[in-house]
């Protein structure tokens, strides 16, 4: 799970395993495998970094 900020400054937590694509158009749009699209303030690279950090923390606890 990663925390992101929607365009209206509301913080949400999403399941990063459901991320299908991340686009900058120029706003960042996260498309989930469910088809839902979420516009966020973070850049594409920030989201990628958040996912990497989450996965690293997840797998280092084993």
Query: pLDDT tens-digit profile of 43-58?
Result: 999 999 999 999 999 8
State the SS3 of 11-61. EEEECHHHEEEEEECCCEEEEECCCCEEEECCCHHHHHHHHHHHHHHHHHC
Annotate 49-58 with b (16+ C-beta within 10 A) or e (fewer): ebeeeeeeee
**Parallel/antiparallel/unpaired status of strands 2-5 and 11-14:** antiparallel
Instruction: Assign 59 a pLDDT band (cuts: 50, 70, 90).
Output: confident
């Amino acid at each position: 799970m990663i925390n992101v900020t929607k365009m209206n400054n509301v913080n949400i937590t999403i399941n990063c395993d459901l991320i299908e694509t991340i686009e900058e158009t120029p706003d960042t749009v996260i498309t989930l495998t469910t088809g839902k699209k979420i516009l966020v303030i973070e850049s594409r690279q920030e989201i990628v970094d958040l996912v990497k950090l989450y996965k690293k923390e997840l797998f280092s606890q084993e």
